[in-house]
Structure 1
């Protein structure tokens, strides 16, 4: 049988660099992970929260609910998805970050219906668990202390509105609406949210909400990297041939240098001088790696 190999962690620790003419072109990033609090909307007491995470795990850690996976506790916790929830954090930015020309906040995963406020100003409304959200906060971000607050609407309430607006039900065999106390009103089909949250034959119905992926502040000046995709072209034991596909956004036309390197090996894998145009730009850099680490299915290799 012919063996098929794949690269494992071939570019672990990859760094991406855009070096443009002039000074002050570096991208600055900061994750907002610590110091979060949450509460049931309309109540006064805030509890410590873990981000990334979700309402159910935060309630459990604060001893506000019993273990959802123990005995029949699942049925006693169906009230959670009928409530709205709020998360907040206070964070600081320094003068060097404030000097960046563009200041953005990136939400890599909000579950699901969320109104996001920065310093009490609405910056975005999310309604899809499966995508990233980005907002320009240049005019709202202050040097020093800032407050980010996220209001999560009950996915059940939002789903019921969509069901009523649709006028007739749609099939959703996984949706254990009866456990949720909703009779035959299956709303999962109307919501851009993980279907298994609504129950399945292999798991409980826990329709949660929360910040399920990191939140990141990003400051940049003339240009920054929007996306990187690694395409594997050819692989043998001796050599891997891949292509790094870059998407770069630029404020203006200017020359730039793209570089891709491996931090583990302390080695530059490829560079390319490019001419950026205003808007989105796409480029590729071919890379060859000697003696790549290969991925094998269980029991067939290292």
Structure 2
């Protein structure tokens, strides 16, 4: 279930107001504007008339600099259906910029410090099923968070902006300003948010590689990672492979002894993938 669209955005100087509970956001007279997710705080402030409508005109972008020491609280609500016992429930954040804490129904569920990486938080025990759930994302000022980190002053010698501000923060470097880019030290939930239902027992990664071909036989290696309970390991589980491409079929069964690993098998009468003008680009369906 996608949680993109209209959210609320509260903002104030980082640390100037103590938030002890989510009710403090509503009861402390904190500034609030509508927000769009995915998006970023400057565009939301611009849409609300707090910042100029056209941030790329003249020196308008400079007006965003005073918000570099602000913290931001995103808020939305949603209703979740209760899954079967065979599924776990996760909140998936594709990317958040940058120092963020996550709260579901007032309970902290996670933390992140990288604007480029996705984050998944298991929330099955915190959700209120078939009721209204409230989700908050608190994004801290990157300037203030960076000031808490002891710098390696040797990195300043190669720094464009004459400081160590960006050397320890996993943000887009150009946001600190380059010779051809204005400084725009943004924040926000800049990629999608989803409530995901995943099978309790599942593959998380699969990778097939054809190692060699002997006659009509293709020697294939499968590398895998799974989510499995402890009782299914130590040789108590079987991985079944079925592959098909036209009249070429394969079936094999393999005992697995750990959550991740690799195994080898051969496909007889293998159909090959040929480049354009050399033959058919055959592909196998695996399950």
TM-score normalised by length of structure 2: 0.69
Query: Which runs of no fewer than 5 residues in structure 2 stay unpaired?
Result: 18-28, 212-219, 277-287
Determine whether 1:105 maps to 2:91: yes
* Structure exhibiting the larger radius of gyration computed from Cα positions: 2
SS of residue matched to 1:211: coil
Change (3 A) 1:72 1:94: same
Cα root mean square deviation, aligned: 3.7
Question: Alpha-carbon deviation of 1:123?
Answer: 0.9
- The answer for the alignment partner of 1:170 in structure 2 is 155
Question: Alpha-carbon deviation of 1:216?
Answer: 2.3
TM-score normalised by length of structure 1: 0.66
Q: Deviations over 1:241-281 (max 9, x none)?
A: x99865332233544556899xxxxxxx9997665656345
The within-5 A match list for 1:54-133 is 54-66=40-52, 67-95=54-82, 97=83, 99-133=85-119
- The answer for the alignment partner of 1:35 in structure 2 is 6
In structure 2, which of residues 136, 147, 159 is the aligned counterpart of residue 149 of structure 1?
136
Distance 1:99 1:44 in 2: 41
The within-5 A match list for 1:226-241 is 226-227=204-205
Distance 1:208 1:90 in 2: 24
Change (3 A) 1:172 1:248: farther
- The answer for the alignment partner of 1:140 in structure 2 is 126
Q: Deviations over 1:75-101 (max 9, x none)?
A: 222012111111111011113x26454
SS of residue matched to 1:188: coil
In structure 1, which of residues 223, 226, 229 is the aligned counterpart of residue 201 of structure 2?
223
Give the number of the structure with larger relative contact order, counting CA–CA contacts within 8 Å between residues 6 or more apart: 1
Change (3 A) 1:246 1:290: farther
Question: Alpha-carbon deviation of 1:117?
Answer: 0.6
SS of residue matched to 2:185: coil
Counting matched residue pairs gives: 242
Question: Alpha-carbon deviation of 1:104?
Answer: 1.9
Change (3 A) 1:271 1:150: farther
SS of residue matched to 1:204: coil
Q: Answer whether contact 1:174 1:200 (CA < 8 A) is retained.
A: no
More displaced stretch, 141-150 vs 242-251: 242-251
SS of residue matched to 1:78: helix
In structure 1, which of residues 206, 215, 219 is the aligned counterpart of residue 184 of structure 2?
206
Distance 2:264 2:74 in 1: 40
Query: Which runs of no fewer than 5 residues in structure 1 stay unpaired?
Result: 1-29, 177-183, 234-241, 262-268, 293-302
